[in-house]
Every structure is written in C-alpha cells, then in structure tokens.
C-alpha cells in the first residue's frame, strides 16, 4: 500500500487459490472529510481459455449437482460460459459497517459523503479514525487477477 497524494493507492495480484478469501486495507483519517472517493478495478474479468473454463465448469457441475441430473447438465456446460473473476468491496467506518458494492463490473467509482453516497452505502459524516476497505475475493478463474484500489478525499474523481 502506497500513499501518493491520496489516502491509499494499493495494487495486488490474486491467484485461483485466493478465491473465497478477503484482502483488508485499514487506514486512518485524521480529520473529518467532506467526501471520500474510492476507485476500484481488476482485470482480466473473463477467462479466455476455453479448455480451462470447460474443466472448471464441469468440476463445479459434478460438485454441485445431483448424480441423476448430472449427465444432461454436464452436456450443456457451454451455457455457463463465459466464466468470470469476481471481486467486490465493503467499507467500514470507525463506527461500523458503512456499506458494500457487491457488483459485477470490474471497474467501479464510489463515493461517500454526509448528504449522498453511491448505491449500497450509507450516507453520513466522514469521521476521523480508522476505516477499513475489504476486498472480497469471490472467484479468481484466471491464472492471475490484478487489482487497484485508490482512496482519496475531495469532490471529484481523479
């Protein structure tokens, strides 16, 4: 995590073994803010390797379907294409849960302020104290998934 003209600039690489885990960033705000901005992105979104995707889909179908229904379902594995990475974020302020953006787009621009907030987040003061952003790694289906998280104060996106 690097601070460059903002509150946080973090980048990372995730792998399939990171699926169903969380990456947590904690940061301090030393004075109340008018608005907190968050830019979050990750790539790639889609697994382009069709054979790898087929293997993952069939493995999942065997794991999550009843034996009697399995053959017909497995024959239609292509209906589950494309498979995608999924990372989402949640925010906690010093007083607790402030909201989440459990959305599918791989690029999101979010904000919080006393009078308005992005959908999924509670509007209210931007308190001084320790804040937390949690990246929930629901699924990494590519060999690597790169993410960037930027947090800064102000009224506009950088």
Low-confidence ranges of the chain (pLDDT < 50): 2-4, 158
Do residues 41 and 57 share a domain? no
Do residues 36 and 19 share a domain? yes
Burial status of residue 32 (CB atoms within 10 A of its CB: 0-12, 13-18, 19 or more): exposed
CB 106 within 8 A of CB 142: no
* pLDDT tens string 5-20: 578 999 999 999 999 9
Does residue 124 belong to any structural domain of this protein?
A: yes
Q: Please give the structure tokens belonging to residue 58.
A: 């069939």
Do residues 128 and 91 share a domain? yes
Domain residue limits at 58: 50-80
* pLDDT tens string 89-110: 999 999 999 999 999 999 999 9
C-alpha span between 96 and 91 (Å, rounded):
9
Does residue 158 belong to any structural domain of this protein?
A: no
State the alpha helices, DSSP H only, in 65-147.
67-75
Does residue 3 belong to any structural domain of this protein?
A: no
Q: What is the number of structural domains in the chain?
A: 2
Does residue 20 belong to any structural domain of this protein?
A: yes
Do residues 88 and 123 share a domain? yes
Do residues 69 and 102 share a domain? no
Q: Please give the structure tokens belonging to residue 48.
A: 């382009």
Do residues 31 and 55 share a domain? no
Of 61, 80, 99, the one marking the end of a domain is 80
Q: How much is the pLDDT for 156?
A: 61
| Closest among 155, 17, 25, 32 to 92, alpha carbons compared | 25
C-alpha span between 79 and 90 (Å, rounded):
31
Do residues 66 and 133 share a domain? no
Question: Is this prediction's pTM over 0.85?
Answer: yes
Q: How much is the pLDDT for 2?
A: 45
Q: Are strands 107-113 and 21-29 parallel, antiparallel or unpaired?
A: unpaired
Do residues 34 and 56 share a domain? no
């Amino acid at each position: 995590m690097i601070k460059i003209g903002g509150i946080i600039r973090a980048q990372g690489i995730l792998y399939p073994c990171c699926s169903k885990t969380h990456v947590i960033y904690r940061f301090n705000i030393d004075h109340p803010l008018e608005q907190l901005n968050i830019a979050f992105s990750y790539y790639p979104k889609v697994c382009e390797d069709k054979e790898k995707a087929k293997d993952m889909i069939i493995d999942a179908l065997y794991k999550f379907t009843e034996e009697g229904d399995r053959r017909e379902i497995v024959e239609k594995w292509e209906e589950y294409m494309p498979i995608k990475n999924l990372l989402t974020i949640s925010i906690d302020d010093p007083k607790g849960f402030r909201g989440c953006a459990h959305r599918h787009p791989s690029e999101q621009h979010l904000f919080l302020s006393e009078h308005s907030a992005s959908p999924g987040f509670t509007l209210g003061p931007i308190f001084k104290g320790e804040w937390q952003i949690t990246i929930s790694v629901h699924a990494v289906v590519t060999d690597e998934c790169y993410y960037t998280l930027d947090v800064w104060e102000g009224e506009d996106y950088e």
